[in-house]
Amino acid sequence: MHIMNLKKINKFVYEIFLNHNLSSKDAKISAKALINAELVGAHTHGLSRLAMYCKRIKKKIINPKAKIKIKKISQSITHIDAKNSIGFVAADIGIKTAIKNAKKTGIGLVAIKNSGHYGLSSYYAEQAIKKNLMVWCFTNAPPAIAPFGAKKSLFGTNPICFGTPTGNKVPFILDTSVSMINRGKIRVAAKLGHKIPLGVALDKFGKATTDAKKALKGVQLPIAGFRGSGLAWMVDIMSGVLTGANHAGKVKDPFDDFTGPQNVGHLFLVLKPGIFVGKNYIKRIKENIKIIKKLPKIKGVQEILYPGQGMSARYKQNLKKGIVVPKNILEDLIKLHAVI
């Protein structure tokens, strides 16, 4: 285990992306998104994925110099063809465009096709919230969850993300996979030989398993049974069917399938929160959170947290502590850094 300060790790990852033919601007965008995942404690979406992105660039299924096409449909709506760019860059353009549209008209909708895995939805949501806007982010992922009633996995862990300013420093950001746990956690457990909790996955015979490797070959379970399956389906429609991206189980697994680009879809919806209640919005949301936080608590709970509070606390801590790089990941990074 090695602890690197933020500046050093940022520069290192930036140089790795440069070595893999990203422009300086795009390398900066990608390094920042990846390091942010480490800062918020989402290690499964941070440095551990860097080798995968680089491998996909080397195999020419991520285009580091993609000529991303931006088509303005109206003052509020934009359609982006990412042309198989790295997901971070397409998503960065997407959220910035949605913010710009929302500032102009009150609402900004951006659909992106032909993209790749973009990391954490919350990272993009935060950008809109910083501009005092409300935001929804959707993206589809490779097959992991069996649709309710089916034996075979087809839906991704398809995260749903909603964020809003709260009138205090910590925004409300609900950013959740629709699977019992995210797939990255199962991958890491498989790599380290750790068990996964019971009730999150079935093996390929449909039997509950705590063996991560068997879970990866079987199916992950959605949150709340058919309700979670329905939410995964909704995200597949919004991110895939609507945008023009792959859907219905066709998004390729970034780790295991190098037969072509992933063609992931993203959908960003950004809104001025005051469109109905004007300046009162912040007063109203403050009141909403205050009422909920004051509820009597169950035993063992010190504070009722709203989504996003934990992430913000981890970010602050890690900012001070630096980025912890496990030995095997450090070895990968050094190899990637040396490749020109």
Ligand X SMILES: NC(=O)c1ccc[n+]([C@@H]2O[C@H](COP(=O)([O-])OP(=O)(O)OC[C@H]3O[C@@H](n4cnc5c(N)ncnc54)[C@H](O)[C@@H]3O)[C@@H](O)[C@H]2O)c1
- Which residues contribute to the site for ligand X (CB under 6 A)? 42, 45, 117-122, 139, 141, 157, 159, 161, 173-177, 182, 305, 307-308, 310-311
Min dist CB 120 to ligand X, Å, is 4
Shortest CB 66 distance to ligand X, Å: 18
Q: What is the H or E stretch that residue 292 is in? A: helix 280-293
- DSSP assignment of 207-225 equals -B--BHHHHHHSEEPBTTT
* Rounded Cα–Cα distance for residues 209 and 199 (Å): 8
Shortest reach from residue 328's CB to ligand X, in Å: 21
**Closer to ligand X at the Cβ: 18 or 123?**
123
Nearer residue to ligand X within complex by CB, 147 or 308:
308
**Surface-to-core class of residue 296, CB atoms within 10 Å of its CB (0-12 exposed, 13-18 middle, 19+ buried):** exposed
Taking the complex as a whole, how short is the minimal distance between the CB of residue 87 and ligand X, in angstroms?
Answer: 7
- C-beta closer to ligand X: residue 18 or 264: 264
Q: In sequence order, what are the beta bridge partners of 115?
A: 264
Measured from the CB atom, the residue of 63 and 140 that comes closer to ligand X is 140
Calculate helix-pair angle for 327-338, 50-58, nearest 10 degrees.
30
Query: Shortest gap between Cβ of 233 and ligand X (angstroms)?
Result: 15
How far apart are CB 26 and ligand X at their closest, in Å?
18
Distance CA 240, CA 249 (A): 10
Q: How many CB atoms lie within 10 A of CB 44?
A: 18
Looking at the Cβ atoms of 18 and 115, the one nearer to ligand X is: 115
Which residues are within 8 A (CB) of 298 and not within 5 positions of it... i.e. 6 or more apart?
A: none
Closer to ligand X by Cβ: residue 12 or 118? 118
Task: For helices 6-19 and 24-39, give the axis angle rounded to 10 degrees.
Answer: 140
